[in-house]
Structure 1
Amino acid sequence: MTTDRQLHLNAFIYPVGHHEAAWRHPRTQPERLFDADYYQQIAREAEAAKFDAVFFADGPALRTEAAYSAAGRLEPITLLTAIAAATERIGLIATASTTYYEPYNLARLFSSLDFLSKGRAGWNIVTTSTEIAAENFGLPAHPDPADRYRRAAEFVDATTRLWDSWEDDAVVLDREAGIYADTDKIHRAEFVGEHLSVRGAFSAPRSPQGHPVLVQAGASDDGRAFAARHAEAIFTAHQLVEHARAFYSDIKAGAAKLGRNPDHVVILPGLSPFIGGTEAEARALEQEFNELTVPAYGIKQLRGIIGVDLSGHDLDAPVPPELFGDAGDVTSNKRSRKQVVAGIVEREKPTLRTLLHRLAGARGHRVFAGTPEQVADTIEHWFTTGAADGFNIMPPYYPGGLTDFVESVVPILQRRGLFRTEYSGTTLRDHFGLPRPASRFTAEADAAQFAS
């Protein structure tokens, strides 16, 4: 089949892979976690397959148990700058927190990445959910979700005002007259809010994309409202296609109500594929990884999702469904990842051991074991039935899990006319089909001139 609509694919780089026991498997290379060339190699492979972007999650705290996991991360914006030097087209998306940064310094970091990569930067906007982050910044407590989202809305407004503060034609480079820039076209941000205040003009002109692509990953009620207003791409987690469709239509409708073009909000669920020559081979590979898990680690991770410690629960006894009474549903969820786990418990009635194995693969994102054709069929079904604009591909192990996907699944998607065989543009906005945003100050100046 062919279609004018094109699938989007990101490589979600989680150092040794998205399965929690990946570091123990002989197919992974945990000794390379702090080597730039390891990540450059992964990004070049994704670029050769014409992926839209690579993506790094991050948080300002040591969230995993170092005794049982390959813990620790390189700072992602610095790392993406190294990847930018080793690649030419692939987008570069990093997570950064609106709770634990300030707008001016974060604006400079992402603007610099956008310049140095020639227009490939994206910012995954998070408010940070882990409470232990507060301890690293001298705060007595982690702000509550409502306060974090109010600050986040102000943060995005202040940051985009900074990125817009130079109009596109502010730099004139008139050597003869000795004028570098038209200062009438450089504006102070002059942002004052409840949580933030930013006065000055930015320290650089608008970057190649106007500003980096704005990405968001929260699916709570506050997160959805924030995404509908601000996000240009959304990372999300769903187990069932019908839940993904409900989320997809809800977000697109919310964006339309705010006067935005729904096509300019790209929705990308996570998919973690175990790939084998037969379905049995793929399932056997998944089982290899599951057998390497440490229950104590999985229980700690589960506690972070559901807020209940099951360390005294029999591993081979069913998980009590009453633990999820307040999880909410797919169209109005207060605790999005808890809702995903609640759905698994309700449908599958797993033992605790089975649930830990289900979550070990990708922390609540969809894990799929099958042949390349089966993986491609799943992607096509979600894409063509209104559940996704593409996928965050989350290989259970790196680097080979990505290799399996790009060598066996991508060619099928290309033959079906669903995915590009060459890049048609040079920026991340080009890849996602997003317009370059106009500077708000230019728009205000044009409106004033028209009114006069």
Structure 2
Amino acid sequence: MSRLNLAVAVHGTGSGALSWKWPGTQWNRFNDFAFYRRSAEIARSGVIDAVFVSDHPALSRDAHRAPTHVFDPTVLFAAIAGAVPDIGFVLTASSTYSAPYDLARKLASLDTISGGRVIWNVVANFNPDIAANFGSAPLPDRAERYRRADEFIEVVKKLWLSWDTPTGDVPDGPLWDETTARTIDHHGDLFDVRGPLNVPVGPQGHPVISQAGGSPRGIDLAARHAEIVYAAILSKAEADTYRRRLAERAVVHGRSGGDIRLLPGLGVVLGDTTAEAYRRQEALEGAGDEDALVAQLLTRLRKNNPLLPADVDADRPLRPEWFTSTDDQGRPIGFTQALHDVIAEEELTARRLVRRVGPAGGHRVVVGTPREVADDIIDWWSGGHVAGFNVHLPLLHEDLDRFVTQVVPILQAEGVYPTAYEEPTIRGRFGLPTPAPVSGGAALPDLAVG
């Protein structure tokens, strides 16, 4: 078993609705590079494997929460990598609104410059507001977005391995030839790319690929390409089912399921006591008490699940059929499916559910003391359900500092998490194989001339 892996989300001011204007904080810190650099420094002090920055190239319509997506992640990490050693970076970039060669070059450059610290989180954008920022064409349907993502990733991987790393003695002949710099000659349904890439193979072969598939198409895409899967998983039974489905599809694509690491999202709300943690969760969401927090959850769920009745009793079990995903829904299918499955499995009430997913109804949340949070993480990892977690915290920097000074030391004392960075690359930390350049291909015309 590989060791426990942890990443922390540092986009925006925290996952709490009121985090941006929390007393004692700089309200507009989401637009301050020093805030993100300090986040990375705090994470590094806890030997966190990587910081995670999601990205939607569109301004959120909800003006009551701080924007979570501000700086371009590639530019942000370029600045952080030069200022903060060791820490990895989960960098979100779109396969829908990018060009394969351009993105492959940027990420390969960052990976080499940082010494192998890049994880590419592939997204097939689902927000029509993003489409509107890239032209007049409407957002492609889900099937088309995934079809493009599949071929896009295929092209990028070929490019990443197309020019071997220059090593050894000075060549007697040309700097490169057809055996070391190979055209990829990709001619697919959507892309025609000759190659090779003008950045050599990097220190970890190529950046680690992450994907967040929850729908059947998403799981198939992850099984074909992903090395880390960031998904909405609300129970250990769901995790086991998801891993089995992922492994089955990986075999279909000629891969081993053992080469894929499941790293679900995990919201963490800390308090000196469990009751204090509950009150903190309520306060950071702008809810006066638990009833108000439940009301927020039900409002959010009704927006995304039209079958949910208006008169739900917060203390009676929810019905799984109210949470049925459709192929044309805007919200990611994985979130809806996770809710359906955990409600069917555990007969959760809305009151119990809000402590499991928070009022946003997304990733799993654990609310409690540092010991309770650490025990939960250890339980999931030691049981083989997950490789680790991508941790979301309600208030940055306060909760990030508390996580690395109060939760991580417990994990280290239990012997499940390192006290220092033992591997320089992300692949080394996650125990992932290094991809080898593929021989063959063709030389560019006059490749070795001039």
Give TM class, smaller chain: 0.7 to 0.9
Q: Which residue of 1 aligns with 2:150?
A: 153
Q: Partner of 1:377 in structure 2?
A: 375
Q: Residue 345 of structure 1: CA displacement?
A: 6.2
Superposed counterparts of 1:51-200, under 5 Å: 51-70=48-67, 72-169=69-166, 173-174=170-171, 179-182=174-177, 184-200=179-195
Which is worse superposed, 340-349 or 32-41?
340-349
Q: Deviations over 1:383-409 (max 9, x none)?
A: 122221101111111111111111111
Task: Tell whether 2:25 aligns with 1:42.
Answer: no
State the shift of 1:361 in Å: 5.4
Tell me the equivalent position of 2:411: 413
**Alignment match, 2:215:** 220
Q: 1:397, 1:325 → 2: CA distance? A: 29
* Misfit runs of 4+, over 4 Å: 169-174, 292-304, 307-310, 313-323, 343-346, 354-363, 442-445
> Which deviates more from structure 2 when the two are superposed, residues 25-34 or residues 190-199?
25-34
Partner of 1:350: 350
- Helix, strand or coil at the partner of 2:8: strand
Pick closer, same or farther for the CA change 1:70–1:355 going to 2, 3 Å: farther
Note if contact 1:272-1:361 (Cα within 8 Å) is conserved in structure 2: no
The equivalent of 1:429 in structure 2 is 427
1:248 Cα deviation after fit: 2.2
> In the alignment, is the contact (CA less than 8 A) between 2:323 and 2:337 conserved in 1?
no
Structure 1 residues 303 and 97: CA distance shift in structure 2, 3 A = farther
Is this contact kept in 1: 2:12–2:69, CA < 8 A? no
Q: Distance in 1 between matches of 2:307 and 2:135?
A: 27
- Is residue 286 of structure 1 aligned with residue 277 of structure 2? no
The 1:367/1:408 distance shift into structure 2, 3 A limit, reads same
Shift of 1:26: 2.0
Give SS of 1:392's match: strand
Name the CA shift for 1:309/1:125 in 2 (closer, same or farther; >3 Å): same
Counterpart code for 1:126: V
CA distance in 1, matches of 2:34, 2:209: 27
Partner Cα distance (1:84, 1:402) in 2: 19
Deviation of the 1:304 alpha carbon: 6.5
Return the offset for 1:170: 7.9
Paired AA for residue 88 in structure 2: G
SS at match of 2:376: helix
Matched, 1:205 2:200: yes
Q: CA RMSD in A?
A: 3.2
Structure 2: 5+ residue stretches without partners: 327-331, 444-450
Give the Å deviation of 1:200.
2.9
Aligned to 2:305: 306
Query: Retained in 2: the 8 A contact 1:19–1:360?
Result: no
Moved more, 372-381 or 433-442: 433-442
Give the aligned partner of residue 273 of structure 1. Answer: 268
* Compared CA separation, residues 165 and 72, structure 1 to 2 (3 A): closer
Q: Secondary structure in 1 aligned to 2:439?
A: helix
- Partner of 1:409: helix, strand, or coil? helix
Using the aligned pairs only, state the percent identity: 35
Match of 1:30 in 2: 27
Equivalent-residue separation in structure 2 for 1:280 and 1:326 (angstroms)? 33
Identify the residue that residue 248 of structure 1 maps to in structure 2: 243
2:265–2:363 CA contact under 8 A, matched in 1: yes
TM-score by length of 1: 0.85
SS at match of 2:133: helix
1:366 equivalent in structure 2? 364
Q: Which letter does structure 1 place at the counterpart of 2:221?
A: F
Secondary structure (helix, strand or coil) at the match of 1:348 reads coil
Number of positions where the alignment pairs a residue of Structure 1 with one of Structure 2: 432
Distance 1:322 1:421 in 2: 43
What CA distance in whole angstroms lies between the structure 1 residues aligned with 2:297 and 2:367? 20
Q: Structure 2 vs 1, CA of residues 68 and 417 (structure 1 numbering), >3 Å: closer, same or farther?
A: closer
Residue in 2 that maps onto 1:14:
11
The offset of 1:21, in angstroms, is: 2.8
Compared CA separation, residues 430 and 442, structure 1 to 2 (3 A): farther
Alignment of 1:402 with 2:400, yes or no, is yes
Over 3 Å counting, the alpha-carbon distance change for 1:274 and 1:137 in structure 2 is: same
Give the whole-Å Cα distance in 1 for the aligned partners of 2:59 and 2:297.
16
Equivalent in the alignment of 1:448: none
Rounded Cα–Cα distance in structure 1 between residues aligned with 2:2 and 2:354: 37
